[in-house]
């Protein structure tokens, strides 16, 4: 197998991780893993920075409770326009709107769009399909432009990373088949878990030593318990034609890299406009590692530029 390219700052980050005598995420209790992720967000990622609006909301949930949301906006006041709905990563088990505050704030600043981050229910307390249920419900609620949101929503952009990339794709499929009050004009899947039903070479190639491990992925799946043969668990089980334009971002040192590559190729074969970007020499989760891996800032910025171009083209075509 040829030697893979690893950036110098990524290599330093990986050496640092291997030198720390801490247990792997799959060796600890779920609540301890969640606390570890929250703590790491404050150390590995950059500061949130100034923003005109950062406001918590609640919406009615399909299960009878509520779903917590957080609105990010670089403008204190805004006219009618698109809203980006963000679904965080964390294997459907860890992660929340607090640990993803910095990436969501950066998206809002760079795209000049309001961003609503969704705190969907997590496994194992709420296994599949609780997460896709919540994410679809949140997208539909935002599309209805409720007074509590304070925005005149004209369209949606769905986005997420890792498990959240999986949920962004699933929500895009659901809203294609049963449209919401406003259209989905684009979706962005960052290093997504797009195909849980098939095996790809990158899973074996990067199974350990590259931040996300094969054992961690098995641990996540054992708690989430998705049906890999159902499109709401593994979205590449669904027909993909008719989906909105897509941006697919992968990392070259990621065990699920090939799932993202396969999803981008399948979109193209289905006739869906797709832009593909790969962060060469970087690892899974890089949008939350911009302090630990400084070159990740350029990767994140390049994908935001690509999404901006997609949105501009969509606007011009309308």
Residue-wise pLDDT for 135-184, tens only, equals: 999 999 999 999 999 999 999 999 999 999 999 999 999 999 999 999 99
Average pLDDT over residues 245-270: 98
Given a cut of 60, whether residue 18 has pLDDT beyond it is: yes
State the residue range of the domain holding 137.
8-317
Rounded to the nearest 5°, which phi and psi values hold at 208? -150, 155
Residue-wise pLDDT for 172-230, tens only, equals: 999 999 999 999 999 999 999 999 999 999 999 999 999 999 999 999 999 999 999 99
318 band by pLDDT with thresholds 50, 70 and 90: confident
| CATH classification of the domain holding 78 | 3.40.50.1820
For the chain, the domain total comes to 1
- Residue 268 belongs to some domain of the structure: yes
For the entire predicted model, the pTM comes to: 0.98
In this structure, the strands spanning 274-279 and 184-190 are unpaired
Given a cut of 80, whether residue 2 has pLDDT beyond it is: no
- Residue 88 belongs to some domain of the structure: yes
Is 215 exposed, middle or buried, given 0-12, 13-18 or 19+ CB atoms closer than 10 A? middle
Average pLDDT over residues 25-42: 94
- Residue 252 belongs to some domain of the structure: yes
* Residues belonging to the active site: 162, 254, 284
302 band by pLDDT with thresholds 50, 70 and 90: very high
What whole-number distance in Å separates Cα of residue 72 and Cα of residue 55? 7
Residue 1 is predicted with a pLDDT of 55
Residue-wise pLDDT for 74-87, tens only, equals: 999 999 999 999 99
- Residue 93 belongs to some domain of the structure: yes
| Structure-token pair, residue 113 | 């769009």
317 band by pLDDT with thresholds 50, 70 and 90: confident
Average pLDDT over residues 15-32: 93
- Residue 2 belongs to some domain of the structure: no
Residue 315 is predicted with a pLDDT of 81
- Residue 12 belongs to some domain of the structure: yes
DSSP string, 57-110: EEEE-TTSSEEEEEEEES-SS--SEEEEEEE--STTTS--TTTTHHHHHHHHHH
Residue-wise pLDDT for 84-120, tens only, equals: 999 999 999 999 999 999 999 999 999 999 999 999 9
**Number of helical (H) and strand (E) elements in the chain, helices listed first:** 9, 8
- Residue 3 belongs to some domain of the structure: no
- Residue 1 belongs to some domain of the structure: no
Residue 279 is predicted with a pLDDT of 98
What does the mean pLDDT of the chain come to?
97
């Amino acid at each position: 197998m040829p030697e893979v390219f690893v950036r110098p700052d990524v290599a330093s980050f990986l050496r640092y991780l291997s030198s720390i005598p801490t247990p792997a995420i799959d060796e600890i209790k779920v609540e301890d893993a969640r606390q570890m992720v929250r703590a790491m967000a404050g150390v590995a990622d950059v500061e949130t920075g100034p923003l005109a609006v950062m406001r918590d909301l609640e919406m009615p949930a399909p299960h009878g409770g509520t779903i917590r949301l957080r609105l990010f906006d670089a403008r204190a006041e805004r006219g009618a326009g698109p809203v980006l709905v963000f679904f965080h990563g964390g294997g459907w088990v860890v992660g929340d709107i607090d640990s993803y505050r910095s990436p969501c704030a950066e998206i809002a600043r760079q795209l000049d769009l309001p961003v609503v981050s969704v705190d969907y229910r997590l496994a194992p307390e709420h296994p599949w399909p609780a997460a896709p249920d919540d994410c679809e419900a949140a997208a539909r609620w935002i599309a209805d432009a409720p007074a509590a949101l304070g925005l005149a929503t004209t369209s949606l952009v769905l986005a997420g990373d890792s498990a959240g990339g999986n949920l962004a794709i699933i929500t895009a499929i659901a809203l294609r088949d049963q449209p919401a009050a406003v259209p989905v004009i684009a979706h962005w899947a960052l290093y997504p878990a797009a195909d849980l039903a098939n095996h790809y070479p990158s899973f074996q190639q990067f199974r350990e030593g590259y931040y996300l491990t094969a054992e961690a992925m098995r641990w996540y799946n054992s708690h989430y318990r998705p049906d890999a043969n159902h499109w709401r668990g593994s979205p590449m089980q669904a027909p993909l034609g008719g989906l909105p334009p897509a941006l697919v971002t992968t990392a070259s040192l990621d065990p699920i890299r090939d799932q993202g590559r396969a999803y981008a190729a399948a979109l193209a074969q289905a006739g869906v406009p797709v832009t593909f970007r790969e962060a060469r020499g970087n690892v899974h989760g890089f949008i939350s590692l911009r302090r630990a891996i400084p070159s990740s800032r350029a990767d994140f910025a390049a994908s935001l530029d690509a999404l901006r171009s997609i949105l501009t083209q969509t606007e011009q075509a309308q």
